[in-house]
Amino acid sequence: MGKHKMMIVSERFKMRGLTPSDATADYLSWLNSDVSQFILNRQQTTDDLVTYINTQNNTPDTYLYGIFTKEAEQHIGNVKFILSEYSGGTSAEMGILIGDKNWHGKGVAKEAIFAFITIAKDKYNLKRVFLGVDKSNVPAVKAYIKMGFKTLEPDQLDDESLSGVKMELLLN
């Protein structure tokens, strides 16, 4: 079973690997609006999006999933995990974008992250999730802290980005 065949289902959402057919005008509009102000790589056209999706799908240990509402199957955001081995087991670097503003502040990120963690703990021996977040993205920082993420000390940062902060969640 390929990595993109896995469906992750939570209470309100289902997450599946993105395909080129998901490169819609709506998805593109997220990248050209203020919801993506903290996203580093923004695709400019639907062709760019298709290339991005294909590249992610062809990269080992990278999981780019769309977050879709269960009922209407409306694409509301994406979550990406990059798995890697580290001394304590498997680590996942993650990024998340809730593109549809109607879903902001409604716990989508938490639900999506914990749905993935539940599966990945067993399937991949996941022990640690980490992410980078812009310090000025206060709602995201607060949400991650509420989920149990801890801010790493500056000397633990991979890159000395002035605006970014690295956070991690250790799983037991």
Closest CA to 106 of 81, 131, 76: 76
Sorted by where each starts, the structural domains of the chain and their CATH numbers stand as 3-170 (3.40.630.30)
pLDDT in tens, 111-146: 999 999 999 898 889 999 999 888 888 888 899 999
Q: What is the pTM of this model?
A: 0.86
Q: C-alpha dihedral over 22, 167, 32, 52, to 10 degrees?
A: -40
Q: What is the pLDDT of residue 87?
A: 77
DSSP 66-129: EEEETTT--EEEEEEEEEEEETTEEEEEEEEEE--GGGTTTTHHHHHHHHHHHHHHHHH-EEEE
The segments of the chain whose pLDDT lies below 50 read 1-2
